[in-house]
A and B are shown apart, each in its own frame.
Chain A
Amino acid sequence: GAVVSQHPSRVICKSGTSVKIECRSLDFQATTMFWYRQFPKQSLMLMATSNEGSKATYEQGVEKDKFLINHASLTLSTLTVTSAHPEDSSFYICSAREGTSGGAPYEQYFGPGTRLTVT
């Protein structure tokens, strides 16, 4: 159980275009979803936290008009990188939290990641 999928796994786009990345919790309801960015040889950097039906909370330094996050349902969140530039090339990872107690409470389940390359 607790599977999170991400689509696409890899995407190449031209500078100035927009890219949408989907994150789905397949067998549980995710009350909270997180979007991370990871540059080579660096740790995960939290970009934003989203709760179903409400606006995402962005971390300091992350442009909310550039990285649009929509958490429309308990199983789906999307990240849209608008007007992408080469410096946006990175590994984007989503994670989902069920928010229940027991086991490893508040554990985050990670999607497989999306490799974005902007040319």
Chain B
Amino acid sequence: GQNIDQPTEMTATEGAIVQINCTYQTSGFNGLFWYQQHAGEAPTFLSYNVLDGLEEKGRFSSFLSRSKGYSYLLLKELQMKDSASYLCAVMDSNYQLIWGAGTKLIIKP
């Protein structure tokens, strides 16, 4: 079956760095997405990786290793507004997104 695993909840301090991991097993691979979702709102796109390596976009970076079925989202200089759920999703061979359950990130002052 298809499976996406990510931690349920993480806590970090304002100004610090946090890494959210995601491991996956899917039928085919056409890229991995990270989305941010604030409570009661729809997800917003953060990043897309289809090749191995690190993609940096401002305070957020995303890493992919296809051979290991592994990705992480790195958030630097954490701000209180970064408190949200972070969803990892993999696009399978049918171009369908398979979603992880999300990681709730709590930022403390």
Residues of A within 8 A of B (CB): 34, 42-46, 49, 91, 93, 104-113, 115
How many B residues have CB within 8 A of the partner chain? 19
Given contacts A111-B42, A112-B41, A112-B42, contact A106 B99 (CB under 8 A): no
Q: Chain A residues with Cβ under 8 A from B40's Cβ?
A: 91, 113, 115
Interchain CB contact under 8 A, A104 and B87 = no
Given A43-B102, A111-B42, A113-B41, also A104-B97 (CB < 8 A): no
CA distance A91 to B43 in the complex (A): 12
B44 at the interface (CB under 8 A from A): yes
Residue-wise, chain B 76-95 has the 8 Å CB interface mask toward A (1 for contact) of 00000000000100010001
Evaluate contact between B44 and A46: CB separation under 8 angstroms: no
Check: B48 CB closer than 8 A to any chain A CB.
yes
Are A49 and B42 neighbours in the complex by a CB distance under 8 Å?
Answer: no
- A108 in contact with B48 (CB, 8 Å): no
A106 cross-chain contacts in B, Cβ below 8 A: 30-31, 91, 95
Residue contact B44 to A110, C-beta cutoff 8 Å: yes
A113 nearest CB neighbor, chain B only: B42
Contact A107:B43 (CB < 8 A) given known A43-B102, A44-B87: no
From B42, B45, B87, B91, give the contact of A43 (CB < 8 A). Answer: B87
Q: Within residues 39 to 66 of chain B, which ones have a CB less than 8 A from any CB in chain A?
A: 40-45, 48
Kindly identify which residue among B44, B91, B96, B99 contacts A44, using a CB–CB cutoff of 8 Å: B99
* Given A49-B96, A104-B45, 19 further pairs, Cβ under 8 A: A42-B101, A44-B43, A44-B87, A45-B99, A46-B96, A104-B31, A104-B48, A106-B31, A106-B95, A107-B45, A107-B48, A108-B97, A109-B45, A110-B42, A112-B41, A113-B40, A113-B41, A113-B42, A115-B40
